[in-house]
Structure 1
Amino acid sequence: MIHCKRVYLEAEASDGQRVLVDRLWPRGLSREISAFDEWLPDVAPSTQLRKTFAHRSEAFADFRAAYRRELAAHPEHWQRLLHWAASGTLTLLYAARDEVHNNARVLTEFLEDELQRHDSPSSPVCYLGEFDGD
């Protein structure tokens, strides 16, 4: 199960694994008392994409498509998140004020799609030639 939550909100036991998924460190947050398990800045949108989006809700559809392409090109950045989500509760933390139009929401959707894809049985065509007896 994957949740999204602003990094400034109180940690709860139900959050499970808490991971900050922003490229920049959140303003006003002390590194010494941060209540999360991991910070993965590389899973966040590229600097160029983040600046182009600029948290404008009217640009969210384009941002979402571009960010999903970035994620698809770099599975090494999100594989650990997929593992954590498959084995328990994962809470993706973000600093944006907009709770709907942000990178954590897109990442959640992407990871949920990946989990569903991994849980789906493969078609027999995928195994063509695997069991020829050679």
Structure 2
Amino acid sequence: MVNVQIKRVYEPADDQDGYRVLVDRIWPRGITKDDARLDLWLKEAGTSAGLRREFSHRPEKFQAFAAAYRRELEGTEALEKLVELAREQPKLCLLYGAKDETHNQAVVLRELILEGLGGSER
């Protein structure tokens, strides 16, 4: 069974998180590498600068952002790596820095990973 969760990197690390991957291209402000307790920083999974500027974390633009982000990630090594990790790890935790817990790239990445695994849900 696949267990892919998402979590703000600013929330305290927990042993229940499993394998922790930061999926932001830019390091989150105000957090140390020790506090982040990362297993991997996969910068390549983050959104491009242009897409990040266009979206600007505005919920009304999320649908268009998600579609564009999916196109950016299509066939990339970063997405392949995340799907592989989801297969290998009992738990995979995608970490992101955005304040909005509903409208961010980790939400889209989780969907893409699950689709890459054949729609396995958990």
Shift of 1:31: 2.7
Which has the larger Rg? Answer: 1
TM-score with structure 2 length normalisation? 0.90
TM-score with structure 1 length normalisation? 0.82
Match of 1:77 in 2: 78
Could you list the runs of 5+ residues in structure 1 that have no partner in the other structure?
120-134
Measured in 2, the distance between the counterparts of 1:73 and 1:48 equals 19
Moved over 4 A (4+): none
Match of 2:67 in 1: 65
Measured in 2, the distance between the counterparts of 1:108 and 1:15 equals 15
Shift of 1:36: 1.2
Match of 1:86 in 2: 87
Measured in 1, the distance between the counterparts of 2:35 and 2:12 equals 12
- Which structure is richer in relative contact order (CA contacts within 8 A, separation 6 or more)? 2
Secondary structure of 2:33's counterpart equals coil
Written as runs of structure 1 = structure 2, the 5 A alignment for 1:1-134 is 1-74=3-76, 76-87=77-88, 88-116=90-118
Shift of 1:32: 4.2
Contact 2:13–2:36 (8 Å) recurs in 1: no
Match of 1:126 in 2: none
Measured in 2, the distance between the counterparts of 1:85 and 1:73 equals 17
What is the percentage of aligned positions where both structures have the same residue? Answer: 45
- The alignment yields a C-alpha RMSD, in angstroms, of 1.4
Measured in 1, the distance between the counterparts of 2:106 and 2:36 equals 18
Could you list the runs of 5+ residues in structure 2 that have no partner in the other structure?
none
Match of 1:132 in 2: none
